Amino acid sequence: MIDKINELLRQVEEFRPRAAAEIEEFRIRMLGKKGELTALMEEFKGVAPELKRELGQRLNGLKSETLARINALREELQNTAGERAAADDDLTRPGTAEELGSRHPISLVRNRIVEVFSRLGYTVAEGPEIEDDRHVFTKLNFPPEHPARDMQDTFFIERRGEEPAPDDILLRTHTSSIQVRTMERQRPPIRVICPGRVFRNEAISYRAHCIFHQIEGLYIDEGVSFADMKQSLLYFAKEIFGEQARIRMRPSYFPFTEPSAEVDVSCNLCGGKGCAVCKGTGWLEIMGCGMVDPNVLQASGIDPEKYSGFAFGMGIERVAMLLYGVNDLRLYFENDVRFLHQFRSAL
């Protein structure tokens, strides 16, 4: 009987309820009419007279311990519930600060450029980052000996031989490959904007990176002229850099456009007067452009005698640098929250 009393005392001490119902169930099991203590009292009647004194004291101690434990647990649960209710009902307590994120500056600029050209009727086209030589170079009129096809400039995943081949697999070096895929599956009129990541085999520094973002545009229809391109790009410059922005075009060369031009915009920091950013010229280069070469149209099954078009492309990091004054390309890829938090207001 002493062992039973000790076992029940251990159960009382180790009892850890999670709700008031569990405490009531424990009370009935221990102190109820058919409980453990009642059973012990019945058993107590048959013990030898010399043991009754000791066992009686132990039974009283068990009953007192059980009652004290039950009362203490009830009070503890009530206090906890009261604190929780007070916390839930106290409208004067400070709210929990929710940490809000912010869009990446590259995403902000990309969305802004897409929004500007969408007003001119352009839709977004996308394509794979892992491409073949045919879509990145061959159909864009790149000659076999062009430096871009060297392994020193391009990340090749699978190359068939020493010489460039249309089936070579590589990471795209420009989003012009999306333009080729669009021309293959869609007949003119075509008016698309092509944003995305591109990859080039360059050493990483503040002014160069092996990964960067481009956004290119393509417009093909009957009677499209160089004047149409110039007016579209002037509209873009004014929407991005302000109504005071001006552009100029300098002759250039790209394998997939003829004639080709580099586009400069008047420096928005000095108003064209000349500063350290524009190196005193008052102009900043922002993109390349040109009329789509007839060979490119023909390679995708579009009749160059009937249709003409223009294409343009720019680096999103370059535009972000001009808008936000960030001149270290590495900052865009390091995901330093101290840098990213500066763009919260631009959500």
Global confidence as pTM: 0.68
For 22-36, 78-92, 177-191, 239-253, which range has the lowest pLDDT when averaged over its residues?
78-92
Residue with tokens 């001009």, as numbered in its chain: 322
The per-type count for the chain, helices as H runs and strands as E runs, is 12, 10
For 219-228, 274-283, 293-302, which range has the lowest pLDDT when averaged over its residues?
274-283
For 1-15, 89-103, 191-205, which range has the lowest pLDDT when averaged over its residues?
89-103
- Which pLDDT value is given to residue 305? 94
pLDDT at 88 over 70: no
Q: How far is CA 68 from the centre of its chain?
A: 58
| Alpha carbon distance 190, 202 (integer Å) | 33
- Which pLDDT value is given to residue 347? 45
pLDDT at 23 over 60: yes
- Domains annotated for the chain, with CATH where assigned, are 2-89 (no CATH), 105-346 (3.30.930.10)
| Alpha carbon distance 136, 133 (integer Å) | 5
| Alpha carbon distance 343, 105 (integer Å) | 7
Residues 6+ apart with CB under 8 A from 38: 31, 32
- Which pLDDT value is given to residue 96? 72
Looking at per-residue confidence, does 10 or 114 come out higher? Answer: 114
Hey, which residues does 199 pair with through a beta bridge? 211
- Strand 169-171 with 130-132, pairing: antiparallel
- Strand 130-132 with 123-124, pairing: unpaired
Residues 6+ apart with CB under 8 A from 58: 2, 5
Categorize the per-residue pLDDT at 85 as very low, low, confident or very high, splitting at 50, 70 and 90: low
For 106-120, 203-217, 241-255, 274-288, which range has the lowest pLDDT when averaged over its residues?
274-288
Residue 104's CB: how many other CB atoms inside 10 A? 16
Q: Are 284 and 322 contacting, i.e. CB atoms less than 8 angstroms apart?
A: yes
What's the one-letter identity of residue 339? F
Q: Treating both helix axes as pointing N-terminal to C-terminal, what angle do 49-89 and 36-44 enclose, rounded to 10 degrees?
A: 170
Which conformational region is residue 253 in: left (phi greater than 0), alpha (psi within -120 to 50 degrees), or beta?
A: beta
Categorize the per-residue pLDDT at 82 as very low, low, confident or very high, splitting at 50, 70 and 90: low
Q: Are 153 and 173 contacting, i.e. CB atoms less than 8 angstroms apart?
A: yes
pLDDT at 83 over 70: no
Q: Note the residue count of the chain.
A: 347
- Measure CA of the first residue to CA of the last residue in the chain; give whole Å: 75
pLDDT at 196 over 50: yes
| Alpha carbon distance 31, 24 (integer Å) | 10
Q: Treating both helix axes as pointing N-terminal to C-terminal, what angle do 49-89 and 2-14 enclose, rounded to 10 degrees?
A: 10
Categorize the per-residue pLDDT at 86 as very low, low, confident or very high, splitting at 50, 70 and 90: low
What separation in angstroms does the CA of 131 have from each of 84, 91, 142, 318? 59, 58, 15, 24
Average of per-residue pLDDT across 212-218: 95
- Which pLDDT value is given to residue 154? 87
Q: Treating both helix axes as pointing N-terminal to C-terminal, what angle do 105-118 and 316-324 enclose, rounded to 10 degrees?
A: 100
> 143 exposed, middle or buried (CB, 10 Å; 0-12, 13-18, 19+)?
exposed
Percentage of the chain exceeding pLDDT 70:
93
- Which pLDDT value is given to residue 287? 94
What Rg value do the Cα atoms of the chain yield, rounded?
A: 39
Q: What is the mean pLDDT of the chain?
A: 85
Categorize the per-residue pLDDT at 187 as very low, low, confident or very high, splitting at 50, 70 and 90: very high
Q: How far is CA 227 from the centre of its chain?
A: 38
| Alpha carbon distance 1, 13 (integer Å) | 19
Q: Are 231 and 249 contacting, i.e. CB atoms less than 8 angstroms apart?
A: no
Chain segment 245-295, per-residue pLDDT in tens: 999 999 999 999 999 999 999 887 776 677 776 788 889 899 999 999 999
Tokens of residue 198, six digits: 């591109």
